[in-house]
Amino acid sequence: MTKKTIAQPPVKFTGIKEIKMPTSAVGFKAIKSALTHITDEVGIMKGIGLLAKLNQKDGFDCPGCAWPDPDEKRAFLAEYCENGAKAVAEEATKNRVSPLFFATHSIAELGLLSDFELGKKGRVTQPMYLPEGATHYQPIEWDAAFQIISNNLKKLQSPDEAIFYTSGRTSNEAAYLYQLFVRQFGTNNLPDCSNMCHESSGAALSETLGIGKGSVTLDDFKYAEVVIVIGQNPGTNHPRMLTALGETKKHGGKIISINPLPEVGLKNFIEPQNPLKWLGDGMDLSDLFLQVKINGDVALLKAILILLNQKEMNNPGTVFDTDFIQKQTQGYEDFIGDLETYNFDDLVNQTGISLSEIAAAVEILANNKKIIVCWAMGLTQHKNAVDNIREVVNLLLLKGSIGKQGAGTCPVRGHSNVQGDRTMGIWERPEEDFLNALDAHFNFKSPRKNGYDVVESIEAMYEKKAHFFLGMGGNFNSATPDTEVTAKALRNCELTVHISTKINRSHLIHGKEALILPCLGRTEKDIQASGEQFVSVENSMGVISKSVGHLEPLSEYLKSETAIVAGIANATLENTTVNWTAMAGNYDLIRDAIEATIPGFEQFNERIRILGGFYLPNSSRENDFSVTYTGKANFTINQVSDIVLKKDQYLMMTIRTHDQFNTTIYGLNDRYRGILNERRVIFMNSEDIKEAGLQHNDLVDLVSHFEGQERRAEQFLVIPYSIPRQCTATYFPETNVLVPLKSTARISNTPTSKTVVISIHKRE
Ligand SMILES: Nc1nc2c(c(=O)[nH]1)N[C@H]1C(S)=C(S)[C@@H](COP(=O)(O)OP(=O)(O)OC[C@H]3O[C@@H](n4cnc5c(=O)[nH]c(N)nc54)[C@H](O)[C@@H]3O)O[C@H]1N2
Ligand SMILES: Nc1nc2c(c(=O)[nH]1)N[C@H]1C(S)=C(S)[C@@H](COP(=O)(O)OP(=O)(O)OC[C@H]3O[C@@H](n4cnc5c(=O)[nH]c(N)nc54)[C@H](O)[C@@H]3O)O[C@H]1N2
Ligand SMILES: [Mo]
C-alpha cells in the first residue's frame, strides 16, 4: 500500500539566488514579467486578447485582488497589473489535468509535488471521483457525482454535520444560489475565506461605524491630504493601488507607511500606463516610513493619539474636529480618560520606532484634516486585530475624517469577490432581516442557529461532529492554520468535495470518499439554457459590476458554479420551493431574487447592464452612523499586544511573496524582496542572527509555542533582512503548520497568522 499523503508542501530546495532589492516597483520589469507569464501559460496571441478584456467595462473582472477599476476612463490594454496578468495566465493556462493524468499518478505521488509544481499541471477537465480505499481518482459522470453528494448529505443525523466553505472568487449569482441551497438544506455552516482575512475589519467597523465595509471610493485618493498604509503590501498584493497613491501625491497629499518591512512598492513606483516613464526614476510614494514591530500597531497608534491630544489641549479646536466629535460620536470622554492611563515611554518601546519619527507622523496628522487609512492582513491577523482596526477608527473620528470627500476607512479586500460573497449571504452568522427576507421570498423557514466559521469547522470535523465538507473554490487544507490538524479534520469526513478550477493540495487530503468538480473560470464563456450568461461581482469599494468571459471553455465537461449548485440541490432537496433548473438556466432570475431579498439591489438586472456598474449604499460614506448600537459613531478602548517573548523567542508573520496568489504559487521569486527561486526562507534581523549564533543561509527548524504545545516546521534558510528585533517573516502556506488552531483574534476568531511565537533551531 502507498504511504499516507503528506499534508504540507514537501521540503524541497530550489536553489536560492539573492539579488539587490529593487528601488522601485512596477515599471518595465513588471510588464516583462506579466508578459512572460501570459506567454508561457496561455500563448502570446490569445494572451493579448485576454489582457484587452481584463477589467474593461465589457470584459471580465480580474480574478486577482478586489481593488476597484476607475469609474470613468479606463486605459486600453493597461487596466491590469503584473499580478493580475499572472492570475489570468494561471486560469487560462493551456495545461490540463485530464483523467489520464489522474490514472497515471497516485494521490500519494501527487502529494510529493510542491504547490508550484502541482499548480503548473493545469486545469482539471472532468469530474473526478475517489472511491473509498482507492489510490487514484477516476472520472465520473456529473449526475453520478451529484448522487454521491446527495446520498452522503441524506445519511447525516443533522444538516449541521455538513460544512459548506466558500473562497472569495465565487460570483454573486453563484454565491447567492449556494447559500440558498445550504439554508434550504437546513444549516448556516457557511464558513468562508473572509474568516481568515478581513473578518476583524468587518467586526470592528460594524461596531464603531455601523457597516462592516470601507467608506472611501477610488476618487477620494485624489482629495486625501494624508493616506496611511498600515499592515499592507500593495506593491505585490494590490499593485493597481499604487496608481491611486500616485494620484494622492500628484495632488499634494502625503503618504505614511507603517510596516515591519520596507516594502518596495510603498517606496517608489513607476507608472505602468506611461511607457515614456518606464526607464525613469519613478515617483517617491512614502513621505514617512514607520518600521513598527510586529503587532506594535495599537501601541503606536496610542502614542500618536496621546501626542495629538496634547497638541489639542494646548490649542483647543485646532487638532481635533470638535464639532464632529460632539455631534456624531459617542464615548469620547471615556476614550480620552483611558488614553491618559498609559505610560508613554512603554508604548514607544513596544513600537520599536524612535520618538522623533512618531513625532513626525503626529505633525503630519495634526496639520491635516482629510485622512484615509488603508490596511490589510498586517492588522487583521493578530489576537488584538479587532483592537487594531478600532484604534484606526478612533484616529479618524478624532479628526472628523470620515463621511467626507478625501477621507475615511479603506480595508483593502483580498479575493476579487470576497466582499460580494458576504453581501450575498455567505456568512455563518446571518442577520435576522436577511433570513426573514429569504423566508418570505422563497416560502420556507431558514435555520436560525449560527453556523461554524473556519476555525470552528475544523474543530467540528476534527471532533467528528461534522462528516461532510464541500469547498466552493479555495484550498482549505493549505489556507487554514495548523495544517496537520486541518488535514486530520478533513480525513475524518465521510465525503470531501471541491468545486475547483485547478488541482491543489486539498484534493489530496480527502475524506473516505472524495470528488473534484471542475468549474468554468472568469475568463470563459458561460452558456446556459437561455443563452450566454454574465455574472456580477462587488469590489473593495462596494461597486457592483458585470463580468463576462470570452474564451471557449477548456473542456466540454466543465459546468458553471451556478449549474453545479443547482445540480446538487436538485439531487438533494426533496420538497424544495426553488426552481433550481430555471435559475441556473437564466442568471437574470437569480438577480431578481437578489433584488427581492437584499437591500441596495433595486432594478438590479437593469443597472448591472450599464457599463461600469453601480455603487451599493454605504451609510458611513454618507456620514450616517445611526445604524450602530448607540446610534452614533463609537469611540472604543483597545488593548495593546499582551505577547511576552522569552529570550530566544521571536514573533513570526506569515506573508505572501510577489509570485503567489494565496496558495497558488505562480513562480518561485519574491523579486521585490531580493529573493529569487526559493520559498523556504526566514527573514531575520542581522543583530538577532548574530546573537543567536547563526549565519546567513544557515539551515534552521522553526518551532512554535502556544499554551505549552510545540509545532515544528523543518528546514528554512536564514536571510538577514531589514526587520525589527525579535521579528521574523516566512511565507504562507509553508509555515501554516506552525499557526495554532486555537490562537485566534478576540471577537473575529481569525487565526493569528501574523503573530506566531517561535524559536529557531540550527540543524546539525
Ligand atoms: N498577487 C497577489 N495579490 C493578492 C494576494 C496574493 O496572494 N497575491 N492575496 C489576496 C488576498 S486574499 C489578500 S487578503 C490580500 C493580502 O494583502 P496583504 O495584507 O498586503 O498581504 P500579506 O502578504 O499578508 O502582507 C501583509 C503586510 O503586512 C505587514 N505586516 C505584518 N504584520 C504586521 C503588523 O503587525 N503590523 C503592521 N503594521 N504590518 C504588518 C507585512 O510586512 C506585509 O507587508 O491580497 C490579495 N491580493
Ligand atoms: N498563514 C497564513 N494563512 C493564511 C493567510 C495568511 O496571510 N497567512 N491568509 C488568509 C487569507 S487572507 C485568505 S483569503 C485565505 C485564502 O484561502 P482560499 O481562498 O481557500 O485559498 P486560495 O489559495 O485563494 O484558493 C485557490 C484555489 O481556488 C480554486 N479556484 C480558483 N479560481 C476559482 C474559481 O473561479 N472557482 C472555483 N470554484 N475555484 C477556483 C483553485 O482550485 C485554487 O487552487 O488564506 C488565509 N490563510
Ligand atoms: Mo484574503
What tens digit of pLDDT does each residue of 702-722 get?
999 999 999 999 999 999 999
Given a cut of 80, whether residue 127 has pLDDT beyond it is yes
Q: What is d(CA 80, CA 132) in angstroms, rounded to the nearest whole number?
A: 44
More confident position, 86 or 251: 251
Across 491-597, the runs of DSSP E, i.e. the strands, are 495-500, 513-518, 526-528, 531-533, 535-538, 543-547
Given a cut of 60, whether residue 346 has pLDDT beyond it is yes
Question: Percent of the chain having pLDDT more than 70?
Answer: 98
Q: What pLDDT does residue 277 have?
A: 64
Residue 269 DSSP SS3:
strand
C-alpha cell at 511: 475524506
Residues with CB under 5 A from ligand 3 (ion): 197, 414
Q: What pLDDT does residue 74 have?
A: 66
Ligand 1 binding pocket, CB closer than 6 Å: 64-65, 83, 197, 230-233, 236-238, 258-261, 263, 292, 294-295, 297, 376-378, 414-415, 653, 655-656, 660-662, 754
Which domains are delineated in the chain? 123-197+417-615 (3.40.50.740), 201-411 (3.40.228.10), 650-762 (2.40.40.20)
CA 15 to chain centroid, in Å, comes to 29
Given a cut of 70, whether residue 641 has pLDDT beyond it is yes
Q: Which of 60, 62, 169 to mutate to test the pocket of ligand 2 (most atoms within 8 A of CB)?
A: 169
Question: What pLDDT, in 10s, does the model give residues 482-515?
Answer: 999 999 999 999 999 999 999 999 999 999 999 9
CA 729 to ligand 1: nearest atom: 42
Q: Which of 300, 373, 380, 655 to mutate to test the pocket of ligand 1 (most atoms within 8 A of CB)?
A: 655
Question: What pLDDT, in 10s, does the model give residues 315-324?
Answer: 999 999 999 9
C-alpha cell at 661: 496568489
> What separation, in Å, do the N-terminal and C-terminal C-alpha atoms of the chain show?
33
Q: What mean pLDDT value characterizes the chain?
A: 94
Give the position of cell 431579498: 597
Least confident range from 1-15, 126-140, 181-195, 745-759: namely 1-15
Residue closest via CA to ligand 2's atom 39 equals 473
> Using 50, 70 and 90 to split pLDDT, how confident is the model at 1?
very low
Beta bridge partners of 269: 25, 283
C-alpha cell at 30: 513588471
Are 756 and 735 within 8 A, CB to CB?
yes
Measured from the CB, is residue 732 less than 6 Å from ligand 2?
yes
Given a cut of 60, whether residue 88 has pLDDT beyond it is yes
> Using 50, 70 and 90 to split pLDDT, how confident is the model at 279?
low
Residue 536 DSSP SS3:
strand
Question: What pLDDT, in 10s, does the model give residues 550-600?
Answer: 999 999 999 999 999 999 999 999 999 999 999 999 999 999 999 999 999
407-414: average pLDDT: 96
Task: For residue 615, report the phi and psi dihedrals to the nearest 5 degrees.
Answer: -85, 140
Q: Which of 116, 197, 232, 684 to mutate to test the pocket of ligand 1 (most atoms within 8 A of CB)?
A: 232
Least confident range from 48-57, 84-93, 550-559, 677-686: namely 48-57
369-376: average pLDDT: 98
CA distances, 32 to each of 274, 429, 467, 599 (Å): 14, 45, 47, 44
Residue closest via CA to ligand 1's atom 6 equals 661
Measured from the CB, is residue 559 less than 6 Å from ligand 2?
no
More confident position, 24 or 119: 119
Give the position of cell 487554514: 480
Q: What pLDDT does residue 67 have?
A: 85
The CA 528 to ligand 2 mean position distance, Å, reads 27
Given a cut of 90, whether residue 518 has pLDDT beyond it is yes
Helix ranges, 367-494 (H): 377-380, 385-398, 418-423, 432-442, 454-462, 476-479, 483-491
Given a cut of 90, whether residue 202 has pLDDT beyond it is yes
Q: What is d(CA 653, CA 123) in angstroms, rounded to the nearest whole number?
A: 31
Given a cut of 80, whether residue 273 has pLDDT beyond it is no
**Residue/partner pairs of 274-281 with CB below 8 Å, 24 or more apart:** 278/27, 278/28, 278/31, 279/27, 279/28, 281/24
User: Which ligand has the shortest distance to the CA of 229?
Assistant: 1
Residue closest via CA to ligand 2's atom 3 equals 479
Task: For residue 263, report the phi and psi dihedrals to the nearest 5 degrees.
Answer: -65, 130
